[in-house]
Amino acid sequence: MKYLITGYKGQLGYDVKRELLKRGVSEEDILAIDKDEMDITNKEEVEMVVKGFNPNVIFHCAAFTAVDKAEDMSDACYAVNVTGTKNIVDVSIETNSTVIYMSTDYVFDGTKDGLYTEEDNVNPKSVYGETKFLGEEEVRRNPKHFITRISWVFGINGHNFIRTMLKLSENHNELNVVNDQVGSPTYTVDLAKTLVDMAGSDKYGTYNVTNSDYCSWAEFADFIFKSNGKDVNVNKVTTEEYLEITGTKQAYRPRNSKLDKTKLEENFGLLPTWKDAVRRYNIELEEEKKLVKKI
């Protein structure tokens, strides 16, 4: 089996490669690339690279994920998330490769009461959410596909909410954090394991894939501080209050990002709870600090 990973320099792409190596896949059977090595918006370049490697599975982790910037850079966001995905899918069909695509909770408007299932109607309210759904539609042209709707991602190889909170805790003893957006923080180490499980399966389709249990951003922040021994008071505010306090303008964010994982549980098993994931990520951060000190 040969595996191609796009967006390797991101949090998820990095951990997908680590997971493949852990399972005994050799380096020469993994092509982990980023935009420097392959511009997914360039059809000819994509064809040359993918056909040259001829993978069995493509983990398509590359994406335009700057949610707020996407509102003013819709053409660039569309080029990466839609045209880029189309290019990947076109060549995947030619090479008979399975495509595993990362989508998002932003395909929903977040107004539903209760959990979102894979069958619920989408209604993206941001450029980012819309382009990721259009990417999903491209991926569905390949019968051998997995679409994974993920949310609130954190991993060792990049910026994320946990790193931001810990950085802010160095010079703040009080922070305003949104309490009316609820979802599931998701650790790329856990996510990567499920994605690699999918790569060896033919249970194709759309799946909600996040860590178990739910929280608001404020509850997430509070747990980050407590689990890291930081004495920071979290003021729970509404989205509107936060925007007023900070004077910022943001793209639309779903209030309810609770995704139902019944289908995931039946086919691949549930991911651990988000609290368990944060504890293990804290350990990974400590190990990272030790490595930096040694260097």
Active site residues: 128
Q: Which two tokens stand for residue 242?
A: 């936060």
Q: Which two tokens stand for residue 137?
A: 């539609």
CA triplet 237, 240, 246: central angle to 5 degrees? 80
Residue type, 248: T
Q: Count Cβ atoms within 10 A of the Cβ of residue 45 and give its class: 0-12 exposed, 13-18 middle, 19 or more buried.
A: middle
Written in H, E and C, the secondary structure of the chain is CCEEEECCCCHHHHHHHHHHHHCCCCHHHEEECCCCCCCCCCHHHHHHHHHHHCCCEEEECCCCCCHHHHHHCHHHHHHHHHHHHHHHHHHHHHHCCEEEEEEEHHHCCCCCCCCECCCCCCCCCCHHHHHHHHHHHHHCCCCCEEEEEECCEECCCCCCHHHHHHHHCCCCCEEEEECCCEECCEEHHHHHHHHHHHHCCCCCEEEECCCECCEEHHHHHHHHHHHCCCCCEEEEECHHHHHHHHCCCCCCCCCECCECCHHHHHHCCCCCEHHHHHHHHHHHHHHHHHHHHHC
Instruction: Name which of 82, 102, 87, 80 is nearest 146 in CA terms.
Output: 102
